[in-house]
Chain A
């Protein structure tokens, strides 16, 4: 396939924008894993519910997705916080299998509840800006994707500042490193767990909110993004949120270029091959360590 500079740039932009979404989903997932040592299979489903929330706020009350963003964040932070307290807490000391059953079960319950409530009909948020496309010659920038990217970057930045500059953030990182010691030092580990789960869920919710203007909403939409998020968090070293962030961007660009240069059929295969190679050669991931110290 031949490249013109404009095609190259368009692909690069599409890749980075897509990667931004992967990053946001991955950060949430890795934050939860880093602190709770729990793989949250329901992460994508929670993101999907957030897309529906965005849709209904828009369809019923006319609230623009960009305005409902803080609502999504706040509401899903609370949902995550509550989920941790009610469902995750009792099994947090249990074997990995029990934890997986819990989050997989949660995934099934959420998906089926959504089907029962709102049916499997695909939906789409159509706002004024949803169709806004900026053109610079042969270069086109889709405004919703651009907005999603900017918000994803901003939120990641804020999260980074929160984790490194505040007492609570430090407590989260301390718990991630060594929960026993953190407990001895007087950190309320259970609260930190709930906080991390809440924050992680809120990240997924924001991602869901952002993509609802350019990606169709159905009860299974989370699966597409969760697969990439899993690859991203391993690539970025599990628990390392900066690693997950960078890995998400890399995956987005790799996927877009694979689809154009090689074949669209390999778009998911190439990231999976990278993933398997990484497991073989550098199982600790590209960036090492858990939450950055």
Chain B
């Protein structure tokens, strides 16, 4: 073989490997048989917490915040005397990069368990990664606290060691339809047609499916779906998708995509083709400060399932306290993934204090018995308490709208800070 052939073969192999990895990732939500092993009790001077999050790849911005919060919380706990029930054992956070890829997350989870000997894992942001990586924790019998992955199936796998503090997409998806109904009742404007747009990841497709499901319920949705678009993440151009959308001309667009760059590109492309629906209801990359900074006033009127809004600080003292502390210490943006990492670390501390041991079974038992007050965390939840599947029963999320360059809380009613703007003005009307 000459050099050129070798090079082309290598390039071809890399490309094929990429496709294979994608295929691999779509087959991961299968239940597996597990053989938990229980390690014996140890004398502890430190508790090791594995944190799985993307530090490279398109979602690195999210992971950076999570890493900063996890490390900051560990520092705070240690400065306050460590875990008292363990004789002041120090908490050490070991952050591992998932690159946002399920196969990498799986390897990293195993490394954390086998080599770093972590007592607990928090992770892993992406549903696809959590799905794959949590199998390792289940296999080795290590408790897993899922902070933000929202695919409904994650807590339906019958796992023994898996606990999710965050809600799942079927809980959240319903909020969109309730909000839409409320907006119509308020303004008397009738919505007939909608469109769904989702990026092809486990998370986004899960959200889209949940939306589709609720729309079938005539009491909740029942709108005519005029376009249903799926696109890969990290695309170089979205003109085709935007033109498809414009041709279908839906009253309301439901859009879900994770990476912020994609959200930026969607916004710019919608402006370019001159289309904006009466309401653009989003989740994913749209509800982050970095998004708003990049698009400026073009982000106006977008509605999102936000998690974070500065308005929260005026409703919830803990949110104000943590927000000020975190931004002062790190200089980084506050966003939903930072909030959930904070909640996860608060839970870890609470669980370890109650467990009084680093034995996996004891930690698991403490997790099951969790009844954490909502006053301890930033999130607008009543608290943390798990049902039989390991799902927190309290999470809710905020709906925000971008008004005057800020995420303002518009829903649910207890958290409404401003009047929503509906219908949103078209691009022409904004000049």
Contacts and interface: CB of A to CB of B under 8 A. Distances in A.
Report whether over half of chain A's contact residues are helix, strand or loop; otherwise say mixed: helix
Interface in B62-113: 63-64
Given A100-B10, A272-B19, A119 B61 contact: yes
Interface centre among B294, B296, B333 (most CB of A within 10 A): B294
B260 A122 contact: yes
Contact of A260 (B4, B57, B244): B244
Given A122-B290, A279-B12, A260 B272 contact: no
Interface in A247-278: 255-260, 263-265, 267-268, 272, 275-276
A275 B15 contact: yes
Interface string B291-304: 10111101000000
Contacts of B272: 133, 140, 142
Interface stretch (B207-215, B234-242, B351-359): B234-242
B229 interface: yes
A77 B388 CA distance: 62
Interface string A108-128: 000110010001111110100
Contacts of A45: none
B8 A234 contact: yes
Interface in A179-235: 214-216, 218-221, 223-225, 227-228, 230, 234
A140 B243 contact: no
Nearest to A261: B240
Interface string B193-214: 0000000100000000000000
Contact of A11 (B239, B259, B293): B239
A111 B273 CA distance: 33
B226 interface: no
A230 B11 contact: yes
Given A96-B6, A216-B265, A264 B230 contact: yes
Contact of B8 (A214, A216, A265, A283): A283
Contact of B237 (A18, A135, A140): A18
B114 interface: no
A224 B236 contact: yes
B22 to A, nearest CB: 10
Given A223-B234, A256-B239, A268-B232, A120 B64 contact: yes
Nearest to B19: A272
Given A140-B273, A215-B236, A234-B8, A124 B264 contact: yes
Contacts of B244: 1, 260
B307 to A, nearest CB: 18
A14 interface: yes
Interface centre among B15, B55, B234, B240 (most CB of A within 10 A): B240
A289 to B, nearest CB: 12
Interface centre among A4, A39, A218, A225 (most CB of B within 10 A): A218
Contacts of B61: 119-122, 218
B58 A218 contact: yes
Contacts of A220: 56-58, 60, 234
B281 to A, nearest CB: 20
Interface in B105-152: none
A111 B264 CA distance: 21
B247 interface: yes
Interface string B276-300: 0000000000000011011110100
Given A257-B240, A264-B232, 11 more contacts: A7-B243, A120-B64, A122-B294, A124-B294, A216-B260, A218-B260, A220-B56, A221-B261, A260-B243, A272-B15, A279-B12
The 4 nearest A-B residue pairs measured at CB: A120-B60, A259-B240, A124-B294, A264-B231
25 contacts: A10-B273, A14-B240, A96-B6, A100-B10, A115-B60, A119-B61, A120-B63, A120-B64, A121-B61, A124-B264, A124-B294, A133-B272, A215-B265, A218-B61, A218-B261, A220-B234, A221-B261, A238-B8, A257-B240, A260-B241, A263-B230, A265-B200, A265-B232, A267-B232, A283-B8
